[in-house]
Amino acid sequence: MQRKRNKAIVPAAKMLRKNMTKEEKHLWYDFLRTHPVRFSR
């Protein structure tokens, strides 16, 4: 089963991941590393 992708939002998503704020980096790289959370799509 292949996932559907909206190619129009891929560049925006990449830009947001690349330009994270200090708080977002802390959330994704520090806090969630110690608290494993599973996201289902």
pLDDT at 15: 93
Could you give the residue ranges of the DSSP H alpha helices within the chain?
10-18, 22-25, 32-34
pLDDT tens readout for residues 13-40: 899 989 999 988 888 888 777 877 777 7
Q: What is the pTM of this model?
A: 0.49
pLDDT at 19: 94
**21 CB-side CA count, 13 A:** 3
DSSP 26: I
pLDDT at 25: 87
Distance CA 19, CA 25 (A): 10
C-beta separation of 4 from 41 below 8 A: no
* Closest CA relative to residue 41, chosen from 6, 1, 3: 3
Is 9 a residue whose pLDDT tops 70? yes
